[in-house]
Amino acid sequence: MAAVQWDPFDAIERDVRDMVADPRWADVPAATQAQAMAARLLLTPDGGCWLFGSYARWYRHDKVEGEWHLSAPPADARARAVARPIHPAPPVPLHLLPCAADFAFDRGSTQAFVGPDVPPHITERIRALLDAHQGPRAEFPFVTGPLRAVFYADVPASVAAVWGTVMWCAYAPAFDGNEVLLSMFGEFLARPLPGDDWVRWLPPMPLNALVALYADLLRGEARGSASRLAALVGDTARVLLDDSRFRPRAAALLAMVEPLRDQPWPDHPDQDAAAIRAAWLARCPADLRGAILVETSPGEHFRHSLYDMVRALSFVCAHGADPRAVAASLLAADVQAVAPGVAARLYPWLDAQLRQTYYVTLAEPQHPLRGCWPRAGEPPEALRPPDRASAAALLGAGYATGLAWCRLTGTMPPPRGFPTSAATVSCLIHERDDPLPGVPGTSSEWIRHT
C-alpha cells in the first residue's frame, strides 16, 4: 500500500480550525492571535507565503508590495507537500484573523443550474407559494421598482417578490433552458429571458430590487401588505435552503426579513429604500457575512468568486496544469471578449502571481496560456471536467466570476453568457436532467412564445 503523503496545507487548516473553535480564542488579545497565526504560515518554493485566515480561506503575501491577497492555495499534491513554515514571518494583519463565525459559514455549492436541475420538491413548494399569492384575490398592488421592467404591468408585487428572492439567492443564475423553476413564471414575464434553448444566462439580482418592493408598500401606507411581502420573501428563502446552490444567500436573506414577520416596525421609521437596505444588511449575522459580500464589497466578492473558480479547476492538475494559471487565463479570455477596456481595473484585486499571468495572457496573442481559451464554443480537451458535478461547478463558478467582475467594473453582462462559461455548457448538454428543448410539451415551450 502506498504511503499517504502528508499535506502541510491540510494540517494547518485543521490546526487553525481547532484553535479558533476553542472558546478561549475570542478572549485572546488580537496581537497575541496574530502571533499565533504567524507561527502557522506556510512558504512554498515559488516564494509564496500562505495564511489560512478570515472567511476560512487562504491568503497569499506579496513580499514586494507587502500586501495580502485572497488566493486559492496550490491544488497539486506535490506542490503542497513541499510547503514549510516560514521564518521570519511577515506580520499578520488584524483584519485577516479568523473567528469562530468564519468556520460556521456554510458555503453551499458553486454549481450552476445546468446538468442537475432544481429538485422537484423545491419547485413544487415554490409553485405553491406562487399560486397562493397571485391572482385577483391577492392582497398586493402591482409590481414596482427595478423589477417592473421584468414583468407585465398587471403582475402583483408578490409574484415579483418570489422571483426576486429566487434570483438573489442563486449563487450563479445560469439555468437550464427547460428549468421548471423558470417556466412557472412564464405567463408573468414581459420579455424573453436572455440566453438560448440550452441555457438562460440571467443577470444578477441586486438586493435593491427586493427592498424597493417592500419600501414602496411602506411609503404607500400599505404596511400590512409590506409585512406580508416580507413574510413571503422569508417563506421563499426557507424553501430554497434545501438546495446548496441557494442555501448561503437564502439563509442570509431569511435572517434579514424574518424579524419583520412578527415585529414589522423596525423598518418603518426608515422608509427610504437605501436606509431599509442598510437595515436589512445590518441584521445579517456574522456567520453569514460571506453570503452578502456581493452587496457589501464588490471587489472582495470578485476575489471570492475567482477563488471558487480556481478550486473548480482543480481537475486540471491531472494534466500537469496549474489551476491558478488556468483561472487567470480564462478570466483574460472573458474580459478580452466582453470588455477589454476594463482589463486593467482588475489588477488591484489580483495577487502578484495571478496578476502577471492575467497580464501576459492578455498582452501576448501567442502566449501558451491562450491555449486554454475556447475554440468554436468548445473548451480544450484538458479543460473538459471529468464528470457532471465538476462541470456544473466550473460552469457556476465561472459565471459567478464573470458577473462579479462586471459588477466591479460597471460592465453589462453578455446576454449569451461569457465565452468560457458558454464553452463549459457543451460538457453538460448530454447530461441534463430534463427533456431536450424543442420537444412539444416540455417546459421550454413557454419561453419562445412569451
Among 306, 311, 329, 307, smallest CA distance to 420 is for 329
CA of residue 154 relative to chain centroid, distance = 32
Gap between the Cα atoms of 141 and 138, Å rounded: 8
* 400 beta partners: none
Q: What pLDDT, on a 0 to 100 scale, did the predictor assign at position 448?
A: 29
Q: What pLDDT, on a 0 to 100 scale, did the predictor assign at position 410?
A: 97
Gap between the Cα atoms of 323 and 312, Å rounded: 8
Gap between the Cα atoms of 302 and 304, Å rounded: 5
Among 67, 13, 77, smallest CA distance to 42 is for 13
Buried b / exposed e over 212-221, threshold 16 CB at 10 Å, is bbbbbbbeee
Q: State the burial class of residue 366 (Cβ atoms within 10 Å of its Cβ: 0-12, 13-18, 19+).
A: exposed
Gap between the Cα atoms of 408 and 302, Å rounded: 7
Q: What pLDDT, on a 0 to 100 scale, did the predictor assign at position 363?
A: 96
Among 150, 115, 161, smallest CA distance to 399 is for 115
CA dihedral 244, 245, 246, 248 (to 10 degrees): 70
Q: What pLDDT, on a 0 to 100 scale, did the predictor assign at position 438?
A: 44
Gap between the Cα atoms of 316 and 326, Å rounded: 8
How many other β-carbons are positioned within 10 Å of the β-carbon of residue 449?
Answer: 7
Which residues fall within 8 angstroms of residue 88, CB to CB, at 6 or more apart? none
Q: What pLDDT, on a 0 to 100 scale, did the predictor assign at position 442?
A: 35
Among 108, 225, 81, smallest CA distance to 161 is for 225
Among 210, 281, 217, smallest CA distance to 252 is for 281
Among 15, 7, 88, smallest CA distance to 49 is for 88
Among 146, 134, 112, 338, smallest CA distance to 243 is for 112
How many other β-carbons are positioned within 10 Å of the β-carbon of residue 296?
Answer: 12
Q: What pLDDT, on a 0 to 100 scale, did the predictor assign at position 66?
A: 84
Reading the block at residue 82, the C-alpha cell is: 513541499
Q: Where are the beta strands (DSSP E) in 140-212?
A: 174-176, 199-201
pLDDT in tens, the chain (450 residues): 444 578 999 999 999 999 999 999 999 999 999 999 999 999 998 888 999 999 999 999 988 778 899 999 999 888 899 999 998 889 999 999 999 999 999 999 999 999 889 999 999 999 999 998 876 545 778 888 899 999 998 899 999 999 999 999 999 999 999 899 999 999 999 999 999 888 999 999 999 999 999 988 887 666 778 888 999 999 999 999 999 999 999 999 999 999 988 776 666 666 788 999 999 999 999 999 999 999 999 999 999 999 999 999 999 999 999 999 999 999 999 999 999 999 999 999 999 889 999 999 999 999 999 999 999 999 999 999 999 999 999 999 999 999 999 999 999 999 999 999 999 999 998 766 655 444 333 333 333 223
Reading the block at residue 337, the C-alpha cell is: 471578449
Gap between the Cα atoms of 132 and 156, Å rounded: 12
